[in-house]
Amino acid sequence: MEINKVYAILSLLPNAKFLMQDGQITEWNDDRTQPTEQEITDEIARLQADYDAQEYARSRKGEYPSIGDQLDALFHAGVFPEDMAATIQAVKDKYPKEAE
């Protein structure tokens, strides 16, 4: 993902009101001070570095089992405290899986 100026400006000044054309701010309609080009450039670099640093998390996410599958495996492994296991078992008993 490439971070653009609009994203950077909104990161610096959430809900800022402005118009852009061809990558340049053409109207600044906000009571707060308009960020400088250097501030915008620095924010783009910071946001891009943050995004790039999370590549491992985005890669892992698609390969992990769903949270439901993870919790079900923990339940079947007997890892939950007794009260949580009893609560889960009560729901499973109330809505049993149909026989295949």
58-72 pLDDT, tens digit each: 999 999 999 999 999
Which DSSP letter does residue 34 get? P
Confidence of residue 54 (pLDDT cuts 50, 70, 90): very high
The pLDDT value given to residue 100 = 62
Is the pLDDT at 2 greater than 70? The verdict is yes
Domain segments of the chain as ranges: 5-61, 65-95
Of 39, 9, 42, which Cα lies nearest the Cα of 23? 9
DSSP E strand boundaries for 22-65 = 24-28
What mean pLDDT is reported for the chain? 94
Handedness of CA 25, 27, 30, 33 (dihedral sign): positive
What are the backbone angles phi and psi of residue 40, rounded to the nearest 5°?
Answer: -65, -45
